[in-house]
Amino acid sequence: MRRRNGSRRIVIVRMQNSRNRQVTFSKRCNGLFKKASELCTLCGAYVAVVIFTSSNKVYSCGHLSVELIVDKFLGENPQLDSDAPNPTVEAHQNFNVDKINNELNKLENSLERLKNMEKRSKH
């Protein structure tokens, strides 16, 4: 019978190797920002994540923006317009549309070149 490690508790301690610590931070930070973005998109939640590294670098992610979310949290801007389009989501959608349009243009140019080559080969 095989033993599983699913219910075993692991001890979480600071990593000694600074390179491994940096790589782990980068991966987990990106994962945390992705989860925050998903929570905003799926549930319409207002999310702000601010991370200070041990070297005092600041990383932040916020939907609508970190400043607006913090102001709401502090009571300085209690009315966030929930019906307003989310600028982060709009920027992401616009980026995807631009990316698809660029790909379409490349494909159309390739098709045009192939048609021209075919015409030349027939003559």
Which residues lie below 8 Å from residue 48, measured CB to CB, with a gap of 6+? 36, 60, 61, 62, 63, 66, 69, 70, 73
Same domain, residue pair 71 and 91: no
Same domain, residue pair 62 and 29: yes
Q: Give the mean pLDDT of the chain.
A: 81
Residue-level pLDDT at 13: 92
Same domain, residue pair 63 and 98: no
Between CA 89 and CA 16 the distance in angstroms is 38
pLDDT band at 1 (very low <50, low <70, confident <90, very high): low
Q: How many domains does the chain have?
A: 2
Contact assessment for residue 17 and residue 11, using Cβ atoms and an 8 Å cutoff: no
pLDDT band at 14 (very low <50, low <70, confident <90, very high): very high
Residue-level pLDDT at 62: 79
What is the residue range of 105's domain? 85-123
pTM value is 0.51
Q: What percent of the chain has pLDDT over 90?
A: 8
Q: Quick check: is 102 in a domain?
A: yes
70 pLDDT higher than 60: yes
Between CA 68 and CA 33 the distance in angstroms is 17
